[in-house]
């Protein structure tokens, strides 16, 4: 069920009226959490040695109170403002509701949906020897309505504060009517998605001759718009979060894991006998990362060659663009690859 406040004392920002209003349920109750699962196993040759398996599951994420507790920081319980560094002596006046400006309320989308994940797999298991079995399979997952933070007061024209959707609270707002709003209003929304596909190969050796082991290799790719990391607003454009679609923060294209237990062949008393060796090996490729620069280009140049149409109508590349060093061109090339989801 949706987290709510029994006495209706949550205060949410309503974009339709640009006002702060009291609500009991920050978003509609979700009563459609039907979570089916289906699967099968088929003994292909009726020998018990080759088994084809598949399964599908639909799971709904349990709502957590953390999605709505930020509303406790809205008026009248608090005065959320966004200000630059100020002397301590002046802070009291800034937080006075009568003088407050740049209000930055917390927002929960009233149409928020609980996240759901669909997962599926198709794999074949083969008994190779009496104690050794291998499995190769495809595993996939699709996340929908994933939680994302975005700024609903982002300027529609970059660098033009006056193009913000909300400049001030409406005169009809239940709290702080007419007060100016900050250029950052964080909304908890649920329109992010994710996609995961993997090839998985495993080998299992049951205890034989004092040795048992498990080894697996995964070739996978995870893509999303926002990998939840409690870093706040991290989308590039809050008006179009799908521009941020790319490799997940935790994406590891290759991963190999192996572990074993070996009974050492020492015999004797308790001090000598009973020893085991249990190594674990984990090897994986690195995770993607973003490179953020303070200016739009390196050394005040454009990030990549750009065509310019001359007076004669011919498109020519600016000589200035090609003065970037090889390292700079590689840097921007990799930035494009990382965000576009290429390897």
Distance CA 19, CA 155 (A): 19
Secondary structure of the chain as H, E, C letters? CCCCCCCCCEEEEECCCCEEEEECCCCCCCCCCCCCEEEEEEECCCCCCEEEEEEEEEEECCCCHHHCHHHHHCCCCCCCECCCCCCHHHHHHHCCCCCCCCECCCEECCCCCCCEEEEEEEEEEEECCCCEEEEEEEEEEEEEEEEEEEECCCCCCCCCHHHCCCCECCCCCCCCCCCEECCCCEEEEEEEEEEEEEEEEEEEEEEECCEEEEEEEEEEEEEECCCCCCCCCCCCCCCCHHHHCEECCCCCCEEEEEEEEEECCCCCCCCCCCCEECCEEEEECCCCCCCCCCCCCHHHCCCCCCEEECCCCCEEECHHHHHCCHHHHHHHHHHHHHHHCCC
The span from the CA of 125 to the CA of 134, in Å, is 6
Cα-Cα-Cα-Cα dihedral sign, residues 62, 65, 67, 68: positive
Instruction: Count Cβ atoms below 10 Å from residue 238 Cβ, excluding itself.
Output: 20
Question: Looking up tokens 């982002």, which residue turns up?
Answer: 154
Residue 88 carries which DSSP code?
H
pLDDT for res 47: 94
Residue 91 sits at φ, ψ, to 5 deg, of: -65, -35
Note the pLDDT of residue 1: 64
Question: pLDDT at position 66, please?
Answer: 78
Sign of torsion over alpha carbons 311, 317, 318, 319: negative
pLDDT at 60: 92
Q: pTM for this one? A: 0.78
Give Cα separations from 311 to 266, 306, 322 (angstroms).
Answer: 88, 16, 21
pLDDT digits (tens, 9 = 90+) for 219-273: 999 999 988 766 677 888 898 999 889 999 999 999 999 999 999 988 888 788 8
| 3-state secondary structure (DSSP) of residue 297 | coil
Look at the alpha carbons of 248, 249, 253, 258 in this order and tell me if their dihedral is positive or negative: negative
Q: What is the pLDDT of residue 63?
A: 74
Instruction: Return the SS3 of 36.
Output: coil
The residue to which tokens 């560094």 are assigned: 85
Task: Kindly state the tokens that stand for 311.
Answer: 């007076």
Show the low-confidence residues of the chain (pLDDT under 70).
Answer: 1, 229-231, 292-343
pLDDT at 328: 45
Contact 248, 198 (CB under 8 A): no
Residue 240 neighbours by CB distance under 10 Å: 11
If one counts every other C-beta atom within 10 angstroms of the C-beta of residue 209, the result is 10
Give the pLDDT confidence of 308-337 residue by residue, as tens digits: 343 334 333 333 333 344 444 444 444 444
Which residues, 6 or more positions from 160, have their beta carbon under 8 angstroms from its beta carbon? Answer: none
């Amino acid at each position: 069920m949706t987290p709510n406040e029994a006495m209706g004392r949550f205060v949410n920002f309503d974009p339709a009226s640009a006002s702060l209003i009291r609500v009991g349920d920050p978003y509609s109750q979700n009563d459609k959490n039907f979570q089916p699962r289906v699967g099968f196993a088929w003994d292909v040759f009726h020998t018990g040695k080759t088994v084809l398996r598949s399964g599908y599951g639909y799971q709904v994420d349990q709502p957590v109170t953390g999605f709505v507790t930020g509303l406790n920081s809205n008026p009248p319980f608090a005065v959320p403002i966004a200000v630059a560094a100020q002397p301590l002596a002046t802070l009291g006046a800034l937080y006075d509701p009568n003088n407050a400006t740049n209000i930055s309320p917390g927002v929960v989308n009233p149409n928020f949906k609980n996240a759901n994940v669909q997962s599926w797999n198709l794999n074949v298991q083969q008994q190779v020897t009496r104690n050794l079995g291998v499995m190769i399979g495809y595993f996939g997952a699709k996340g929908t309505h994933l939680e994302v933070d975005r700024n609903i007061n982002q300027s529609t024209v970059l660098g033009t504060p006056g193009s913000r959707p909300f400049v001030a609270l409406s005169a009809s707002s239940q709290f702080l009517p007419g007060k100016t709003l900050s250029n950052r209003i964080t909304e908890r929304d649920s329109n992010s998605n994710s996609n995961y596909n993997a090839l998985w190969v495993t080998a299992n050796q049951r205890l034989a001759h004092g040795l048992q082991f498990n080894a697996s290799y995964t070739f996978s790719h995870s893509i999303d718009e926002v990998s939840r990391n409690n870093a706040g607003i991290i989308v590039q454009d809050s008006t179009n979060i799908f521009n941020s679609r790319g490799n997940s923060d935790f994406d590891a294209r290759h991963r190999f894991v192996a572990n074993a237990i070996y009974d050492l062949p020492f015999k004797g008393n308790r001090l000598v006998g009973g020893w085991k060796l249990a190594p674990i090996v984990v090897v994986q490729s690195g995770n993607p990362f973003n490179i953020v620069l303070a200016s739009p280009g390196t050394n005040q140049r454009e990030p990549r060659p750009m065509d310019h149409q001359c007076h004669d109508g011919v498109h020519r590349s600016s000589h200035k663009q090609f003065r970037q060093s090889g390292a700079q061109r590689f840097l921007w090339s990799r930035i494009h690859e990382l965000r576009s989801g290429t390897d």
